[in-house]
Structure 1
Amino acid sequence: MLSPHEFATLMLVRSAPDQVDMNRAELDTLLEQQLVALEQLAEGYRRFSVTRSGASLLDTFSRPDREDAMSRDAEPGADELA
Structure 2
Amino acid sequence: MLSPHEFATLMLISQAPDQIDMNRAELDALLERQLVMLEHRAGGARRVYLTGKGRTVLDALHPGDAPRRSLETAGNDGGARPETRSVPGGITTDIVVPSG
Specify the TM-score bucket, using the shorter chain as the normaliser.
0.7 to 0.9
Large movers: runs of 4+ above 2 Å = none
1:27-74 CA-to-partner distances (Å, cap 9, x unmatched) read 11000000000101122211111100000110111115xxxxx694xx
Higher Cα radius of gyration: 2
Task: Name the one with the larger helix percent.
Answer: 1
The aligned counterpart of 1:23 is: 23
Q: Give the structure, 1 or 2, with the largest relative contact order (CA under 8 Å, sep 6 or more).
A: 1
Q: Which runs of 5+ in 2 are unaligned?
A: 65-84, 91-100
Residues 38 and 79 of structure 1, relative CA distance in 2, 3 Å threshold: closer
Q: Which runs of 5+ in 1 are unaligned?
A: 65-69, 73-77
Q: What is the total number of aligned residue pairs between the two structures?
A: 71
- When the two structures are superposed, what TM-score results if normalisation uses the length of structure 2? 0.63
TM-score in terms of structure 1 length: 0.75
Supply the RMSD in Å over aligned alpha carbons.
2.2
